[in-house]
Structure 1
């Protein structure tokens, strides 16, 4: 299943560009994914928010693209947020010990016992 990338520009007190990524992000989609996500850098907004909840599958190649994108985006935008990490994305981030890189956006909820 290919991926889709949607953008939604919202303006209130602060300009926010919300980006939603859906589908599978594997080596087979990597070149197209890089091309599309790099187009986002041409926008000028105060806050960039990337929603990862609907990513069904992700591999190392596309995780590297997200890491590179975040590094570049942080030089251009005052605030860059990755939000709504699903288990597929979080597991890969955790596997490579990259939670610190995303520490501004990952919220871990304590497991309730009882």
Structure 2
């Protein structure tokens, strides 16, 4: 029996900077991916830097997914992502499990 497409996650990985320099490009890519996938996992394990523009893109994506009735999961949070989420207390906003290293 084929997998139910509404419960099978599509996965999109972001590598490098998630900053103002890539925000417009990533916003378009995320909106398209969310339109196609009822469940999208966004792999942040290779994000080397996150600024407020990148954070706005993530927050917009979460809001857009909710508006569509879709689900966005952030997975594999890099140290750069964890640092910003911790500083701004955003773990609850996104609702995804955060694996914090012992260094934090």
Query: TM-score per shorter chain, which class?
Result: 0.7 to 0.9
Greater relative contact order: 1 or 2 (C-alpha under 8 angstroms, separation 6 or more)? Answer: 2
RMSD: 2.0
Judging by fraction of residues, say which structure has more strand. 1
TM-score scaled by structure 2?
0.79
Total equivalences in the alignment: 99
Deviates more, 1:76-85 or 1:86-95: 76-85
Query: Relative to 1, partners in 2 of residues 1:78 and 1:33: Cα closer, same or farther, differing over 3 Å?
Result: closer
Which protein has the larger Cα radius of gyration, Structure 1 or Structure 2?
1
- In structure 1, the partner of 2:26 is 33
**Residue 93 of structure 2: SS of its match in structure 1?**
coil
Contact persistence 1:48–1:77 (CA under 8 A): no
TM-score scaled by structure 1?
0.73
In structure 2, C-alpha distance between the alignment counterparts of 1:38 and 1:94, rounded to whole Å? 25
Gaps of 5+ in 2: none
Deviates more, 1:15-24 or 1:70-79: 70-79
